[in-house]
Structure 1
Amino acid sequence: MGLKSQPKIIVVRPRRKKSGGGHHGGSWKVAYADFVTAMMAFFMVMWIVSMDDGVKDVVEGYFNNPIGFKRGYANGSSPAFSGSNPVTAPPRPITNPDGVTGSEAAPPLPDQAELEAAAAQIRTGVEQLELQGVEAEISVAVTAEGLRVEMAEGAEGETFFEFGSANPEAALERVLALVGESLAALPNSIVIEGHTDAAPYPRAGYTNWELSVDRANTARRMLTTLGVAEERVLEVRGYADRQLRYPDEPRNPGNRRVTLFVTSSPESSGAAAAGAIQTGGDPG
């Protein structure tokens, strides 16, 4: 009689999960990035809150009008530390073959008498235009800082530009033609400024800031095509309604104007804004 076969015993051992060597996926990176972003936003808010009102105005002006605001205005590279005066690079001294130290600056600037002569020529041309029916306020003045020509809209409000637009009217080209003829022979730098009235611009995403800069740029392009060298244009500025010609009448069409300021010295361009204000609806 044979031995009874014994049942086969099968031992099942649980499988061990392989360890990932400490790697737990990338979800922590997302959480860390969110934390860093939140901290950066927090410190930015704290920094802005701690600013004085003057610096806040500078930052606001930069973001409202970066094109017309940031060019030429800086005490440093950040707009938060901007001053109100444009940067003027000092001329680099050079030595000629005779050993005399000179400068790479532009040719000597005209004296006051030459600016007065240019102003008189422009005034004569303006008088002729007025006789031809151009109704606008065109002021020409020579100060210690230079020659200022201001073209303000008349009562109709569409003498130089189409209503609410940077598209020029024929009168603007006629005025700039006589101004360009008087200024073409001068080496002075030129600052061009645009101003609007205080009426809000109705189009979303486009304000009086953009309109004032666009109108100043239109005048720049026209002036350079009429004989004024492009390199003479030092700055193009847009002030929107921040420098009203008639503060008591913020929507007066005369607040809508373009100013050409011909500097009498490299340091005088910063005075163009102050000289452009003369104290005396519809979008800009």
Structure 2
Amino acid sequence: MSPKSTPVETALGPRRAARQPVRHRGGAWKVAYADFVTALMALFIVLWLMNSSRQIQQAISAYFRDPKAYSRIVALASGHDEAAQGEMLMDRNNAQALKERIEQAILNQPELAELRDQVRISLTPEGLRIELMETEQGLFFESGRPEPSPKGQRMLALLAQQLGRLRNRLVIEGHTDARPYRFGGITGYTNWELSVDRANAARRFMQDHGVDPGQVTQVRGFADRRLLEPAAPNDSRNRRVSLVVEYDQPAAAEPEPQPRIPVLR
């Protein structure tokens, strides 16, 4: 101990050192660390996407292209948009817009977008016609069976939510190709029964998923009488279920009463 230093100075250090202002460390390192963690998270997301299925990649892409529209379609497909039911009326002026909306709704769902080549939507004199065309192996309906397949159920559920928002009348048709029903000789079941049963099965499923029961006015079965491809009667595309949204027809005006002509006797 120095003879000139006091016990207090020896324990606490020189007094002038205690009077120096305390310097706090800066927070710049926090910003750099946050940037590093963000970049690392982005890397993990990219690696996950690279190893995900194509359906997941398409779904994420659709969401970032238009988040509001994607959320709307998901709500419609899951049946959570009850407020919109029955609020629209299709006529010849807005039928094209409805056609484009349904086409976009199909494209926005990756598992249905893969089936778009088998869905034909067109405007006809009677209304908007949606054709669900089969493949050779069976797509929307299993081959020779009247029940919708899982893919057919998903497509019908989406269409039910879209068409259930309308007040227009709906006609459902069933069609087959020209090949006879393979088990018809044993049971007597023919393409006539198959076409009607498929149309009726589509009606029941759609009414369970958004279409009002009073909206369907006709269920038709045509067998092979109205081929989509007349030049190829055995083409699988002739096997189809058709949904026809009829144009709004104004109520017929009641005839004005005719003036009574007095009869002279």
TM over 0.5, shorter chain: yes
- Kindly tell me: are residues 249 and 189 of structure 1, through their superposed partners in 2, closer, same or farther at Cα, counting changes over 3 Å? same
Shift of 1:198: 0.7
- Kindly tell me: are residues 173 and 265 of structure 1, through their superposed partners in 2, closer, same or farther at Cα, counting changes over 3 Å? same
Residues 112 and 155 of structure 2 are in contact (CA less than 8 Å); yes or no, is this contact kept in structure 1? no
Of the candidates 245, 248, 252, which is equivalent to residue 235 of structure 2?
Answer: 252
Shift of 1:118: 2.2
Shift of 1:107: 9.8
Figure out how many residues of one structure are paired with residues of the other and give that number: 161
Question: Matched residues in 1 for 2:203 and 2:114: separation?
Answer: 25
Question: Matched residues in 2 for 1:197 and 1:144: separation?
Answer: 24
Paired position in structure 2 for 1:214: 197
Q: Any unmatched runs of 5+ in structure 1?
A: 1-105, 268-284
Paired position in structure 2 for 1:116: 96
Fraction of identical pairs, as percent: 44
Give, as a single letter, the amino acid of the residue that structure 2 aligns with 1:210: E
Written as runs of structure 1 = structure 2, the 5 A alignment for 1:1-284 is 109-127=89-107, 128-129=109-110, 133-134=114-115, 136-154=117-135, 156-201=136-181, 202-203=183-184, 204-266=187-249
Question: Matched residues in 1 for 2:112 and 2:156: separation?
Answer: 17
Residues 246 and 252 of structure 1 are in contact (CA less than 8 Å); yes or no, is this contact kept in structure 2? yes
Question: Matched residues in 2 for 1:131 and 1:232: separation?
Answer: 25
TM-score, reference length from structure 1: 0.52
Question: Matched residues in 1 for 2:220 and 2:229: separation?
Answer: 19
Structure with higher Rg: it is 2
Shift of 1:247: 1.4
Give, as a single letter, the amino acid of the residue that structure 1 aligns with 2:99: A
Superposition misfits of 4+ residues, deviation over 6 angstroms? none
Q: Any unmatched runs of 5+ in structure 2?
A: 1-85, 251-265
- Kindly tell me: are residues 107 and 235 of structure 1, through their superposed partners in 2, closer, same or farther at Cα, counting changes over 3 Å? same
Counterpart secondary structure, 1:112: coil
Shift of 1:184: 1.4
Give, as a single letter, the amino acid of the residue that structure 2 aligns with 1:185: R
Deviation per CA, 1:159-183: give whole Å up to 9, x if none.
Answer: 0111111021111111112212221
> Alpha carbon RMSD of aligned pairs, Å?
2.4
- Kindly tell me: are residues 255 and 112 of structure 1, through their superposed partners in 2, closer, same or farther at Cα, counting changes over 3 Å? same
Question: Matched residues in 1 for 2:126 and 2:173: separation?
Answer: 16
